[in-house]
Amino acid sequence: MKKPQLSELTLEEKIGQMLLGRQEDINRKTEEDFDVFRTWEEKKAFIEKEKAGTLWALTGHIHRGMPEDKNPDKSHVLGGRVLDGSREYGEWISAQSDCYKIPALTALDAEQGGGTLFYDLSVLSPPFAIAATKDENLAYEMGAALARELRCAGVTWRWGPTVDSTNRFNLSFMRSYAPYDPDVQLKFALAHAKGIQSEGVAACAKHFPGNDYNEYRDSHYSQTKIRSTKEQWYQEQGKVFQGLFDGGVYSVMVSHIAFPAIDDELIKGKYVPSTISKKVITDLLKNEMGFDGVVITDALRMAGVFNLFPYDELIIRFVNAGNDVLLDVLPDTGKIIKKAVEEGKISEERIDDACRRILDMKEKIGMFEDGYTLVKGVSEEVTPKTRELNMEIARKAVTLIRDRNDLLPVDKNKVKKVKVICSAHSDELFDQLDVLKKEFEKRGAEVSIQRRLSNGRELKKISAEYDLILYAATLDFHAPWGMTSFYNEECITFMFACSSGNEKSIGISFGHAYIHYDFMENVNTFINTYGRGPELMKALVEAIYGEIEMTGESPVPIDPPATVL
């Protein structure tokens, strides 16, 4: 279809472009009874009423309670979550999008790739692993591969790359490429964003204005703040965001973090969150830094902002601050904005500016071209190339942190029995270690995997029976929720680790880069893979046996910089 002009749109249609609600609001009568599902006719009526310009892609919802949809027998489960197939989801999201007068974007995070949302797509090598290769071309190629896979499910807007500069306890630490080095961060993030956008998917730099090296709290349930001066910020995080804007990233996500150096207004005794600060979004981001793309809020229903004002007032503040898309709005939010415009609380010029930016981004990714289709490609044709790329990255990323007693490489003729002791806050790593087990078995080793270690006597028995002991551990963002660390029973393993068998033990992090420092300093041999994808596990075993050289370099200092909490 032809790109609509602002003069051709009603006020309701322009406001609709700014709205991004949850997928479940289409399926369920959430405004009345969350457990009651809409019929297809009711869904179409809801879509017509809301006129939302973006749909939030969430997996595992498309077949629930809807007799007109047939639930395929291929549904998978990951970490207790039901996953859809990309083909089925693409058909579903296309049907919803076809109800709109203006094509709707379909958006998501997909921080670990489409494979954590759709069972037939790939889990990606994480940012730290890519940065460990020292090759930003791989960041570009991974961005392009991710976009090709997402298009199989009809996804057109990916909220990434993450470029927050933060400390090792913050949930964003492992989500970026090099949180302590703005030059490396920019180089890899810009390459990744360009790769995404080369395949008709909009990239999104997040979370503006960034984070703070001394901030460990999480905006999902607490207000956070940047302590830097404006000058310090421009030398670090501001430098990264400016480089991404100058490099052509199509959108930016604003966080709820407060930035007193830019806006020191106090609301109920707390500094104003960036998402409702005109000084941060309009004055700094749009005017001073010259960003002319789409500005989207982080999720509105996060405690860092949501409870400051009544919902109606909060929505008006979000719009007036300069946000173009409001993420996670409640049904009928468009009515709130329209009423505010009619009462003079929001100018129509502000609505026009937001709508223009959104339509421009849709045009950039080709949504108004003749013959455009939301779904492009099929998973079985695009995923093999992604997995080949994952394997290349994995072999270049695996990083030897230390090998004090020259344990590596091991001799497969001497390693006949391997014990893997797993430490994680969920069962996902335990299940995924089956790949590691099979790789050792291919080389003639018998492998036993267990959750945690209970005491020193147990380890002494293991040391006597096994030729090689692996301490496999992972911490990741939102795993756990809250400060990123091990606690309670997951710490017990590290109290006894290497009290026996240190000469035959290897510590492995399948996630956080500082497990070796915070929990396994006593382990003489330690390897970082930065992720737990199958390719990384295969490359790890190759490295342990000396079949590949470990050339990866940690994208963060081996000893973490001092942090004041």
429-475 pLDDT, tens digit each = 888 899 999 999 999 999 999 999 989 999 999 999 999 999 999 98
> What was the pLDDT predicted at 397?
98
pLDDT band at 46 (very low <50, low <70, confident <90, very high): confident
172 and 208 housed in the same domain: yes
Indicate whether 531 pLDDT > 80.
Answer: yes
Closest CA to 104 of 147, 64, 68, 50: 50
292 and 422 housed in the same domain: no
Q: Is the residue at 565 inside a domain?
A: no
Domain boundary among 336, 351, 382: 382
368 and 502 housed in the same domain: no
57-105 pLDDT, tens digit each = 876 555 443 434 444 444 566 555 567 889 988 998 888 878 888 999 9
Run of H or E including 335: helix 333-342
* Burial (0-12, 13-18, 19+ Cβ within 10 Å), 344: exposed
Q: Is the residue at 179 inside a domain?
A: yes
Q: Is the residue at 390 inside a domain?
A: no
Q: What is the residue type of 86?
A: S
125-169 pLDDT, tens digit each = 999 999 999 999 999 999 999 999 999 999 999 999 999 988 888
Q: Has this prediction a pTM greater than 0.75?
A: yes
Mean local confidence (pLDDT), 111-128: 90
6-38 pLDDT, tens digit each = 999 999 999 999 999 887 888 888 777 777 888
372 and 435 housed in the same domain: no
CATH number assigned to the domain comprising residue 147:
3.20.20.300
364 and 229 housed in the same domain: yes
User: Under a CB-based contact definition with an 8 Å cutoff, are residues 215 and 170 in contact?
Assistant: yes
Run of H or E including 431: helix 428-432
> What was the pLDDT predicted at 61?
54
Q: Is the residue at 551 inside a domain?
A: no
223 and 178 housed in the same domain: yes
Q: Is the residue at 553 inside a domain?
A: no
Q: Which residue has the higher pLDDT, 420 or 485?
A: 420
Give 272's contacts (C-beta < 8 A, 6+ positions apart).
Answer: 258, 263, 265, 266
> What was the pLDDT predicted at 23?
79
Closest CA to 484 of 474, 471, 494, 493: 474
Mean local confidence (pLDDT), 191-199: 98
> What's the residue count for the chain?
565
Count of other CB atoms within 10 angstroms of residue 341: 19
Domain boundary among 382, 412, 446: 382
Long-range contacts of 424-427 (CB under 8 A, 24+ apart): 424/473, 424/474, 424/475, 424/479, 424/490, 425/475, 425/479, 425/480, 425/486, 425/490, 426/79, 426/479, 427/79
> What was the pLDDT predicted at 216?
73
Give the E-state strand segments of 392-463 in sequence order.
399-403, 417-423, 446-451
* Burial (0-12, 13-18, 19+ Cβ within 10 Å), 489: exposed
360 and 413 housed in the same domain: no
What's the sign of the alpha-carbon dihedral 111, 187, 533, 217? Answer: negative
329 and 377 housed in the same domain: yes
Half-sphere exposure of 260 (CA within 13 A, CB side): 13
Count of other CB atoms within 10 angstroms of residue 319: 25
494-516 pLDDT, tens digit each = 988 989 999 999 999 999 999 99
* Burial (0-12, 13-18, 19+ Cβ within 10 Å), 79: exposed
Q: Is the residue at 329 inside a domain?
A: yes
Count of other CB atoms within 10 angstroms of residue 407: 16
- Cα–Cα distance for residue pair 150/106, rounded to 1 Å: 10
256-269 pLDDT, tens digit each = 999 999 999 998 88
State the DSSP code for 174. Answer: G
Count of structural domains, the chain: 2
373 and 410 housed in the same domain: no
Half-sphere exposure of 4 (CA within 13 A, CB side): 16
Indicate whether 482 pLDDT > 90.
Answer: no
371 and 407 housed in the same domain: no
- Cα–Cα distance for residue pair 146/393, rounded to 1 Å: 14
DSSP for 134-146, please give it: T-HHHHHHHHHHH
Q: In three state form, how does the secondary structure of 262-311 look? A: CCCCEECCEECEHHHCHHHHHHHHHHHCCCCCEEEECCCCCCCCCCCCCH
DSSP for 15-65, please give it: HHTTEEE-HHHHHEETTTEEEEEPPHHHHHHHHHHH--SEEE--TT-TTTT
321 and 418 housed in the same domain: no
229-238, 302-311, 356-365 — which is least confidently predicted? 302-311
CATH number assigned to the domain comprising residue 445:
3.40.50.1700
201-231 pLDDT, tens digit each = 999 999 999 988 777 766 666 678 889 999 9
- Mean of per-residue pLDDT scores for the chain: 90
Beta pairing class for 505-509 and 468-473: parallel
Closest CA to 25 of 333, 330, 302, 326: 330
Beta pairing class for 270-271 and 294-297: unpaired
Closest CA to 395 of 405, 403, 387: 387
365 and 480 housed in the same domain: no
Domain span holding position 175: 6-382
- Cα–Cα distance for residue pair 335/75, rounded to 1 Å: 37
Q: Is the residue at 555 inside a domain?
A: no
